[in-house]
């Protein structure tokens, strides 16, 4: 299976607790501006987002790491690679970002959508033999039928408390939304 979608992933009370921590303007919850979405060197001026680093480089980077222990348990995480909370702002039109992979090796990537909106994650076609060449400056994906790796338009829509699990080594794209102020999700890479 290319990706799995699980509706009502968390208990409502726990989900609301996480949502409130992220959105209630707590001064200790910081957002860092990122001027490139898909990869270092992506020069698209419309490609930016905000991130709250939670876990990376084998270290907790935020008190949210403790708060997310229930999510890690629900996912049956054996080894955590990275956790981030991501916010794409409404830019007045829907922007689909460049394709990217999270890491070059096969692993699980979970996207827990915090709010419902018309933003989505676009997944590369399932039956495609993808040959990826990756450098720090660019990503290029080719398929057996050319460069269009998203012909099937496999979209995981942003729906509150839905978790989408996929292989983070497969190409995917994020998008902005137009019917909410922002699109917020928790992105977890793990084994």
Count of Cβ atoms closer than 10 Å to residue 27 Cβ: 5
What is the average pLDDT score of the chain? Answer: 87
pLDDT, tens digit (0-9, with 9 covering 90-100), for 125-168: 876 655 555 543 455 555 554 557 777 889 999 999 999 999 99
- Alpha carbon 123 to its chain's center: 11
* Predicted pLDDT at 129: 58
For 48-52, 95-99, 115-119, which range has the lowest pLDDT when averaged over its residues?
Answer: 95-99
pLDDT: is 46 or 185 the higher one? Answer: 185
What phi, psi does 85 have (nearest 5°)? Answer: -105, 130
Select 3-24+31-190's CATH number: 1.10.3720.10, 3.40.1440.10, 3.40.50.720, 2.60.120.620.
2.60.120.620
Give me 91's structure tokens. Answer: 């830019």
What the block records as the tokens of 176 is 């902005």
The mean per-residue pLDDT over the stretch 92-102 comes to 89
pLDDT of residue 153: 85
SS3 content of the chain, % helix, strand, coil (to 5): 10, 35, 50
Give the pLDDT of residue 156.
Answer: 97
Residues 6+ apart with CB under 8 A from 141: 99, 124, 130, 131, 132, 147, 149, 171
Q: What is the pTM of this model?
A: 0.88
Report pLDDT for 27.
Answer: 67
User: Domain locations in the chain?
Assistant: 3-24+31-190
Are residues 101 and 134 in contact, defined by beta-carbon separation less than 8 angstroms? yes
| pLDDT of res. 152 | 81
Structure tokens at 173: 């794209």
Write the burial class of residue 58 (CB in 10 Å: 0-12 exposed, 13-18 middle, 19+ buried). exposed
| The token pair that represents 65 in the structure block | 């790491």
Would you say 188 and 71 are in contact if contact means Cβ atoms under 8 Å apart? yes
Greater model confidence, 36 or 69 = 69
């Amino acid at each position: 299976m290319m990706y799995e979608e699980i509706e009502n992933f968390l208990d409502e009370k726990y989900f609301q607790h996480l949502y409130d921590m992220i959105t209630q303007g707590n001064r200790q919850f910081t957002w860092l501006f990122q001027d490139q979405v898909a990869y270092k060197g992506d020069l698209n001026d419309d490609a930016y987002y905000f991130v709250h680093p939670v876990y990376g480089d084998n270290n907790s980077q935020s008190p949210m790491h403790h708060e997310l222990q229930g999510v890690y348990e629900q996912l049956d995480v054996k080894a955590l690679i990275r956790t981030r909370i991501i916010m794409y702002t409404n830019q007045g039109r829907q922007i689909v970002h460049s394709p990217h992979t999270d890491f070059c090796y096969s692993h699980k990537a979970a996207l827990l959508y915090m709010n419902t909106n018309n933003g989505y994650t676009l997944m590369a076609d399932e039956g495609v033999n993808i040959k990826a060449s990756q450098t720090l400056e660019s990503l290029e994906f080719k398929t057996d039928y050319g460069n269009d790796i998203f012909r099937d338009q496999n979209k995981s829509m942003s729906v509150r408390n839905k978790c989408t699990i996929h292989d983070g080594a497969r190409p995917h794209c994020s998008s902005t939304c137009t019917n909410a102020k922002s699109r917020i999700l928790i992105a977890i890479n793990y084994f």
